[in-house]
Chains A and B, each alone.
Chain A
Amino acid sequence: MSKFRLMAPFMVLMLVLAACGNGDDPGNGGDGDGDLTGETVSVVVVWGGAELESFQAMVAPWEEETGATVEIESTRDIDAVLQTRVEGGTPPDIAGLPGPGVMAQFARDGALQELPQSVKDVLAEQYDAGWEVAGTVDDQLVGVFIKTALKGLIWYNPAQFEAAGYSVPEDWDGMTALVDQMAADGTTPWGIGLESGAATGWPGTDWVEDFVLRQSGPDVYDAWVAGEQAWSSPEIRAAFEAFTLWASDEEYVDGGPSTVLGTNFGNGGDCMFDDPPGCYLHHQASFMGGEGGFFETNFPDVAVSGETYDFFVMPGIDFDGVTSAGDLFGMFNDTPAAQSLMAYLVTAEAQQIWVERGGALSANKDVSPDAYPDETGSRSAEALTGAETVRFDASDLMPAEMGAAFLEAIVDAVQNPGDLDSILADLDAVQQSAYGQ
């Protein structure tokens, strides 16, 4: 009896602690696929603002149909949140994954659950085979793409182009000639912004990836992603050099390297709208344009698709190809409700909801090009589905440690392009330790 009395206060405190913790255990007691009423699915995503609203709009019909509830939690620090919760044994049912590299790590740790047949059926019917491959680790499908973006677009301001007498280049030689012409005419051709908080430098990784794919081709690109191509090899070095030639030279980039590193990626193309223009060109993914894109948000009165901003796909150099990226979803708890939600999210019906709201491309073939609210969306969707060679964002595919070192290397290379030898040697060293785990 005395023992119990001694323990009692602790038991109360433990109850308190338990109550403070995760109160909503995933409803494991699902009774088949049929009735999901009252079930909840916890979802952790990185989105905020308009993106979060679009996702909420996307899940609303599923909630209505099944009577289940989706509890969405939003965090910018998805890496830390997921790892902590997975290790603590309280993962969310479904979560956005930072990238395929991290997805593979979670899958090999056994944290990610294999996706059910219902998801595979939709993928087989409505997607190109490449998307299922991209979400597969060790022969198990563990990730699906909720939305995608086309990378390697060159944005320009048609009105300013016309005023200066420039025209969109046909090929890569035309591209470099145009850039040199702009510099010779006394305006810095490029606007680049690499600042992005803890992920500062990522738009630079996109630049380098676009160069690797177009200069050296998909085989080198794949080997590089797999950790089999040394960073100090001539192919990767050439890509870094091509990037810093423009990004570290104040004759080629608005404001010079310190502005490049200090300007947020969302404002990187702002100089195209200056009068007179501070720059004519901006290299960034499809999310810059369209309703809710950065251009129209930053310059609501000026930015008009097709008039004051437009894009062309970065021309091929020795090889043709485009890079893409996407937001992956994985399932950590294999509950009937989570399965049902995953299967719903990949359908054309669900995908179309976000597509119509703008800011996202869908990899689902059944989503009609007419669903895109603006030309940016439909044209980039066409470019993505029409390209022969599509490669996923390399820095997302690499192990997290490699990706982080890549970011640092971009920052260093822009600041000190002369130190490329030692920067690439450091990356080689990280490559040795980051792969093969």
Chain B
Amino acid sequence: MNTLVTALIVVVGVPAAVCGYIIATEWVIRGFASTTKTKLRPWLWVLPAFLFLGVFLIYPTIRTFINSLFDRTGEFVGLQNYADLFGSGGFWQVLANNALWLVFFTGVVVVLGLVIAVLADRVRYESLAKAVIFIPMAISFVAAGVIWSFMYNINPDIGTLNAGLTAVGLEPQAWIQEWPRNTFMLIVVGIWMWVGFAMVILSAGLKGISTELLEAARMDGATELQVFFRIILPLLAPTIAVVATTVVITALKTFDIIYVMTGGLFNTSVIGFEFYREQFTNRDPGAAAAVAIILLLAIVPIMLINIRRFQAQEAIR
């Protein structure tokens, strides 16, 4: 019954509220001259968005920073939480893992996604090939973690990889126990899930490049490699940037795979998991907030680069 009411409110109430708001803004500005109206209207329309941003994004960010300055007894300790983190060997290990994720997860996802998009573009069974590669994207990270835990299981009767090894007479391997191999094995899981995403977006970008342009280049004697590197790649650059940004942020936020597959043990922890551990296992909200702020600071430059790019593109248009 409760769910029904909720559904009704969402389906009927939300559009009604939006319409109501627009009507309300018109009513508020009814007294002004029409030129002033035109200037006021956009501000009134973005006002709710700003309010939501303020309540759900800006306030929590500031609050998190303030929290990061207190220890778990609620005493103000300045930047001590940050000093503690960077002073422990464990956190450098975490940062090293994040760096591996950043470089290899992003690199492989983007390159492989691009290669598959370009190659799939040329075959008749394109949609089938793309569907197969995209399917893992529909699986949750947690489910993927469970699936790959079985794949990597040390018992050859359970672990697919070790079954393969023993079939050719090799010793079974403990895939996720030794660093840095374990981090790479976990990155493989991420890649398996995210290549499909990169491929779909890049493939769509590829379809947007006019065939006349490519035909003209070929007529003028360009080789296929030249067509790819001199025409396709530069035209696809904005799309690649968007994909890369998304994947980079995903890499920095990695949590689920680690949580499900190793629980951060065997030196596989990453920033996203460390945050959880400080908050819920160690019950140290100050340290957890400090980890969150570090993660935020790591993501901000990437966001800025992305916004710059976006503005540059808008300027060209």
Contacts and interface: CB of A to CB of B under 8 A. Distances in A.
B20 interface: yes
A262 B155 contact: yes
Interface in A12-27: 12-13, 15-16, 19-20, 23
B17 A5 contact: no
A9 B154 contact: no
B174 A261 contact: yes
A258 B159 CA distance: 14
B177 A258 contact: yes
A16 B9 contact: yes
Interface string B69-87: 0001100000000000000
Contacts of A105: 283
B45 interface: no
Given A5-B20, A105-B283, 20 more contacts: A2-B27, A8-B20, A8-B24, A9-B17, A10-B48, A13-B17, A16-B10, A20-B6, A79-B280, A83-B280, A197-B260, A198-B264, A262-B155, A262-B176, A262-B177, A401-B281, A404-B281, A404-B282, A408-B265, A411-B265
B292 to A, nearest CB: 15
B14 A23 contact: no
5 contacts: A9-B48, A12-B14, A16-B9, A80-B280, A259-B155
Interface string B263-287: 1111000000000110111111000
A12 B280 contact: no
Nearest to A105: B283
Contacts of B17: 8-9, 12-13
Contacts of B5: 19
A421 to B, nearest CB: 15
Contacts, number: 98
Interface string B1-36: 010011001100110111011001001100000000
Contact of A12 (B9, B153, B281): B9
Given A8-B17, A12-B16, A198 B259 contact: yes
A2 to B, nearest CB: 6
Contact of B21 (A9, A15, A79, A255): A9
Given A12-B17, A19-B2, A404 B277 contact: yes
B174 A16 contact: no
Contact of B28 (A6, A8, A9, A16): A6
A206 to B, nearest CB: 17
Interface of B: 2, 5-6, 9-10, 13-14, 16-18, 20-21, 24, 27-28, 48, 51, 72-73, 153-155, 174, 176-177, 259-260, 262-266, 276-277, 279-284
Nearest to B24: A5
Given A263-B154, A404-B282, A437 B177 contact: no
Contacts of B263: 197-200
Interface in A83-114: 83, 105
A400 B276 CA distance: 13
A308 interface: no
Nearest to A403: B281
B153 A262 contact: yes
Contacts of B2: 19, 23
Nearest to B273: A198
Contacts of A324: none
Chain A residues touching B, range: 35 or more
A2 B153 contact: no
A199 to B, nearest CB: 7
B174 A262 contact: yes
A79 B284 CA distance: 13
B73 to A, nearest CB: 7
Given A197-B263, A198-B264, A5 B16 contact: no
Q: Which of B17, B48, B262, B284 has the most CB of A within 10 A?
A: B17
A262 B154 contact: yes
Contacts of B279: 80, 83
Contact of A16 (B14, B72, B154, B282): B14
A9 B18 contact: yes
Given A13-B14, A263-B155, A6 B24 contact: yes
A411 B280 CA distance: 21
Q: Which of B2, B13, B48, B174 has the most CB of A within 10 A?
A: B174
B24 A401 contact: no
Nearest to B6: A19
B155 A12 contact: no
B174 A258 contact: yes
A13 B262 CA distance: 40
A104 B73 CA distance: 16
A262 B17 CA distance: 55
Contacts of A199: 263
A15 B9 contact: yes
Contacts of A400: 281-283
B20 A9 contact: yes
B184 to A, nearest CB: 17
B265 A2 contact: no
Nearest to B13: A12
Contacts of A13: 14, 17
B71 to A, nearest CB: 10
Contacts of A69: none
A339 B2 CA distance: 27
A330 interface: no
A415 interface: yes
Given A9-B21, A16-B6, A16-B13, A401 B282 contact: yes
A261 B153 CA distance: 11
B104 to A, nearest CB: 23
A63 to B, nearest CB: 20
Nearest to A404: B281
A19 B280 CA distance: 27
Contacts of A259: 154-155, 174
Contacts of A258: 154, 174, 177
A158 interface: no
B20 A201 contact: no
Contacts of B21: 6, 8-9
